[in-house]
């Protein structure tokens, strides 16, 4: 069984220009995902990108690179298009799809997910969430209120739930090609602590993760 990881890192990010190689505590953002993969039990670590700069950085940190066509590297391109492009060209049995924007994952998290593949068809990362009242922008309750509860529920009255945090997903090549989805079949969850579940989409996220990494 050949296990690979794949990190998708296109060059055209809008929220943070060149986000995937933006500086995070004196290292490019993508280097953390590459390092976690290289230290895990995967056999090969790959980056799919349309950017020559990201390609050079990824190779310098030990990853292999596959060129991602421009037509599947747009703002509206689903990740699955790049996953399938890779799957049609590269030989593997199990894929760990890692988000470049999730620098807080550890190799142990990946290994835990891979071990779970003995009993699941796919797994993905989550964190546990206690219930909090959520509202729309026009201040109407979402998922609670008079239609659902006769009163504002207490936190302990509502069950905890999992929140998909997008750090990584694991599936088989067979299931990916069949379903064309990152997860399918009998799905399991790899639970991460909240403090390691944050990803980088905005400068605010970036500054928060810098502080988490520095322990301040």
Active site residues: 152
Is-contact 102 33, C-beta < 8 A?
yes
| C-alpha 134 chain-centroid distance | 24
Those residues with Cβ within 8 angstroms of residue 101's Cβ, 6 or more apart along the chain or in another chain = 19, 20, 29, 166, 199, 200, 201
Q: Say how many Å lie between the first and final Cα of the chain, rounded.
A: 42
Helix, coil or strand: residue 29: helix
Q: How far apart are CA 25 and CA 193, in angstroms?
A: 21
| Residue 171 parent element (H or E) | strand 161-172
Cβ–Cβ under 8 Å, residues 45 and 38: yes
Q: How far apart are CA 30 and CA 58, in angstroms?
A: 7
Q: What is the 3-state secondary structure (H, E, C) of 103-122?
A: CCCCHHHHHHHHHHCCCCCE
CA dist 78 and 111 (Å) reads 26
CB atoms near residue 200 (< 10 Å): 27
């Amino acid at each position: 069984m050949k296990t690979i990881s794949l990190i998708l890192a296109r060059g055209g990010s809008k929220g943070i220009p060149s986000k995937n190689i933006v500086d995070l505590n004196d290292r490019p953002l993508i280097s953390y995902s590459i390092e976690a993969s290289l230290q895990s039990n995967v056999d090969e670590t790959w980056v799919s990108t349309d950017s020559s700069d990201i390609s050079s950085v990824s190779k310098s940190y030990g990853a292999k690179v596959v060129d991602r066509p421009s037509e599947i590297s747009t703002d509206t391109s689903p990740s699955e298009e790049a996953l399938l492009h890779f799957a049609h060209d590269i030989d593997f049995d199990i894929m760990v799809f890692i988000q470049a924007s999730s620098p807080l994952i550890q190799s142990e998290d990946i290994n835990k997910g891979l071990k779970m593949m003995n009993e699941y068809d796919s797994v993905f990362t989550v964190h546990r969430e206690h219930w909090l009242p959520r509202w729309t922008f026009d201040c109407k309750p979402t998922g609670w209120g008079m239609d659902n509860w006769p009163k504002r529920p207490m936190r302990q009255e509502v069950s905890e739930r999992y929140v998909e945090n997008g750090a990584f997903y694991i599936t088989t090549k067979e299931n990916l090609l069949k379903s064309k989805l990152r997860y399918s079949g009998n799905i399991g969850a790899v639970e991460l602590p909240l403090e390691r579940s944050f990803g980088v989409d905005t400068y605010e996220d970036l500054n928060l993760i810098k502080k988490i990494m520095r322990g301040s």
